[in-house]
Amino acid sequence: MKPDPVEKRKIPPRHGPFQVDRDSFMETCFSGGDSIPVWFDCDTGVDDANALLLLHQLDCFRLVGVSTVAGNVVLEKTTDNTLRVLELAGSSVPVYRGAGLPLIRDQITAPEVHGTDGLGGVILPQPARTIEDKPAWDALYEAALAHKGQLVLIAVGPMTNIGLALAKYKDLPSLLKRVVIMGGAARGGNTTPAAEFNILVDPEAADMLFNCGIQVAMCGLDMTLQAFLTVEELEELGRLGSSQALFARNCLQKALAYSLTLGQPGIALHDPAAVLYAADDSIFEAWPAWIRVETQGRHTYGKTVTDLYSDKKKPHRPQLVVTAVDREKFKARLFYLMGRYGK
């Protein structure tokens, strides 16, 4: 974590030029040291699918469990998609079914980005294995207990499962080493003008997480919109040649088309960016902040409210807002990891 920058200057720089002294990616992620136990909570989803493919290739992580939640599409599909993508990756990690509906709100899904199937219309083979019986929140808690404070939680869907786990197990925050999420934004939104999709779907669950006493690193739109691939770069990814790389390219086509209609320069890889941040943060910029979720506003519910840019800073600023990434280095890491398939 960087020293508090607020004393020096009010407004964090929005974009590079980045000055990364050294790129610690290979050292951190492929040094052959002890791997870190990771739990991944997702709503697969085309960018979740890509994140799963990356997670499987990171030597520094040992994926001990994956849980599914309703979000980009309904739970039945996010669960089925997760199993299929893990099969494609060659992973045998256990998968646990989570919540099918937000804590108290009506369900929202995002078929315009992910397709009605959730994988952008790409059909993957039926997986040989099935879902575990245990509910996601119980399995997450047991894993946290078993790994004695070492478990890293990466959550890239709506925070419903986390909210339920926190509600059921009061000591869960003290059992987790870190929490990294994809969700929210210090500025703007992508589903309403004020709110990002994952937080908008279940603002109450997200606020439970931000208020539970553990540090949350928020990989929101501020950073993830910088972690994009252009049309040409996505083609290049497909040309890596493995079935996994080809799948990555194909499943993102619909989301890419949608992003281009919004005037964005390419397809933002939201969830992969959160995974790469969790693995090695040396190419990212993150700032301490206070974060809570607006759950009451008429136009702003689902907004992650942070004091990052405000004149009035809160006295207690426990969270991290990830604000920027060196896109070229992000791309290089992505291509390196995807290039490991089929070798």
Partner 1 sequence: MKRIPVILDGDPGHDDAIAWVLARSRPELEILAVTTCSGNQTLEKTTYNAGRIMALIGLDVPLAAGRTKPLLAETMVAPSVHGESGLDGPVLPEPVREPEAEEAVRLMARLIQTSDRPVVLIPTGPLTNIGALLLLYPQLKSKIRHIFLMGGGLAHGNWTPAAEFNILVDPEAAEVVFESGIPITMAGLDVTEQALVYPEDFQRIRAVGNQVAEVTAEWLEFFYEFHRTLGYPGAPVHDAVAVTALIRPDLVTSIDRYVVIERGGEYCRGATVGDIWNLSGKPPNVRCLMGIDRQGFVDLLVQAVEHYGRGVDNEA
**Cβ-based nearer residue to partner 1, 298 or 343:** 298
**Cβ-based nearer residue to partner 1, 240 or 321:** 321
Q: Cβ atoms within 10 A of the Cβ of 313, count?
A: 15
Are the CB atoms for 281 and 333 separated by under 8 Å?
no
Catalytic residue among 56, 114, 147, 270: 270
Least distance CB 274 / partner 1 (angstroms): 20
**Cβ-based nearer residue to partner 1, 35 or 300:** 300
Q: What is the CA 110 to chain-centroid distance, rounded?
A: 16
**Cβ-based nearer residue to partner 1, 53 or 185:** 185
Task: Give the contacts of 183 (CB within 8 A, at least 6 positions apart).
Answer: 155, 156, 158, 159, 196, 197, 198, 199, 206, 218, 219, 220, 304
Q: State the Cα–Cα distance between residues 116 and 83, nearest whole angstrom.
A: 17
Are the CB atoms for 102 and 201 separated by under 8 Å?
yes
Least distance CB 14 / partner 1 (angstroms): 10
Are the CB atoms for 69 and 161 separated by under 8 Å?
yes
Least distance CB 309 / partner 1 (angstroms): 4
Q: Establish whether 270 is a catalytic residue.
A: yes
Of the candidates 312, 266, 314, 273, the residue with the CA atom closest to the CA atom of residue 290: 314
Q: Which residue has the tokens 């890293």?
A: 152
Least distance CB 187 / partner 1 (angstroms): 4
Q: Which residue has the tokens 């925050």?
A: 173
Least distance CB 227 / partner 1 (angstroms): 17
**Cβ-based nearer residue to partner 1, 43 or 196:** 196
Least distance CB 233 / partner 1 (angstroms): 22
| The amino acid at 44 | T
Binding site for partner 1 (CB under 8 A): 6-11, 186-194, 262-263, 290, 292, 294-301, 303, 305-312, 314
Could you give the angle at which helices 243-251 and 75-89 cross, rounded to 10 degrees?
150
Are the CB atoms for 230 and 266 separated by under 8 Å?
yes
**Cβ-based nearer residue to partner 1, 69 or 225:** 225
Buried b (16+ CB within 10 A) or exposed e, 3-42: eeebeeeeebeeeeeeeeeeeebeebbeeeeeebbbbbbb
Active site residues: 270
